[in-house]
A = this chain, B = another copy of it.
Amino acid sequence: MKKYKVCLVGIGAVGTEMIRLLKKHNFPMESLTILARSEREEVIDGDTYQVKVASPEAFEGMDFAFFAGTEGAKGASQTLGWEAVKRGCIVIDNGDDFRMDDRVPLVIPEINAEALKHHQGFIANPNCSTIIALTPLAALHRKAKIVRIIASTYQAVSGTGSSAIKELEDQVKAWAKGDPIAAEIYPKQIAFNVIAQIGSEKEPGFPSEEVKMLRETRKIFGDDTIKVCSTCVRVPVFNGHAESINVEFEQPISPEEARELLKQAPGVRVVDDLSANEFPTPLDCSGVEEVLVGRIRKDPSCDNGLALFVAGDNIWKGAALNAIQIAEALVAQND
């Protein structure tokens, strides 16, 4: 089996999990190079990595470059992404700079791996909330055609990055000691609070996260008629995004049919039994590759509607894992 020279740009919350998942998946690597703003050593799970400075030349001879695309690595794909492509490297970018670019496929492998067939060397990983909603919804879309999605999210601080994880930790510890609570990363205290604005205002009334969910859903499903309205909310959870979703279909689909389709769907695990207190939670989905889906029921407020609740590891399936699955799909395609 061919082995690949892999590099990783950025080593925050997502980059670290990319390293873990490349190992967990036995991704066929000849070498793993870590690039960042500054040269240093990083120890991850007991292994020491020599971090090199990211530059166009650093991509010479590389096969795959994963841009981790959170704080620290933000903007790296803008300056270096196409430079890497020019040097024959396939870029998989977790950031949102090129997701809506016509040259760039936006891929959830379980849904639209075929979009990888004619790539131009640069592939984008969708937004975490979009991936976690669409991975289960795709199975229902194929059967009954989605016409409208309404989503309200419960998003973990790990989606913002390591500094936000620390902010929640610090705020909770300050509270436990009776000390004053400081907010720096988020505009308001996140401990024991919820923040109904993720990203800055992108369109009147809509923060960037909500605009992403609309645009990316249409691009991934290849259907500009799908209607989407989301309300994206940060909650005091370390890891794991949950979403409450109401979805309307062109064709009728019963909760029982939906549950059966979801049980067969790749990348999805059904967790749905109210009487046994079984439903998806952020804690239960953390460190799990599948998106959990439950609370599957008829939406009594519309025809052909279902309501459901999903939870997925935003750093894994919502970012690092999906990126690696894209690389795996490309490797399989080349075999």
Contact = CB atoms under 8 A, between A and B. Distances in A.
Contacts of A244: 152, 196, 231, 233, 244
Nearest to A272: B205
Given A154-B194, A237-B236, A246-B150, A205 B298 contact: yes
Given A176-B172, A236-B236, A297-B204, A196 B279 contact: yes
B148 A301 contact: yes
Contact of A193 (B189, B201, B282, B300): B282
Interface string A277-304: 1011111100000000011111111100
Contacts of A204: 297
A150 B229 CA distance: 12
A214 interface: yes
Interface of A, secondary structure class, is mixed
Contacts of A27: none
Nearest to A239: B192
Interface string A189-218: 100111111001100111100000010000
B154 A233 contact: yes
A192 B238 contact: yes
B187 A277 contact: yes
Given A175-B172, A205-B255, A307-B229, A192 B236 contact: yes
Interface string A137-149: 0000000000011
9 contacts: A148-B301, A150-B301, A192-B238, A196-B281, A200-B274, A205-B297, A214-B300, A231-B295, A235-B235
Interface of A: 148-150, 152, 154, 172-173, 175-176, 187-189, 192-197, 200-201, 204-207, 214, 227-229, 231, 233, 235-238, 242, 244, 246, 255, 274-275, 277, 279-284, 294-302, 305, 307, 309
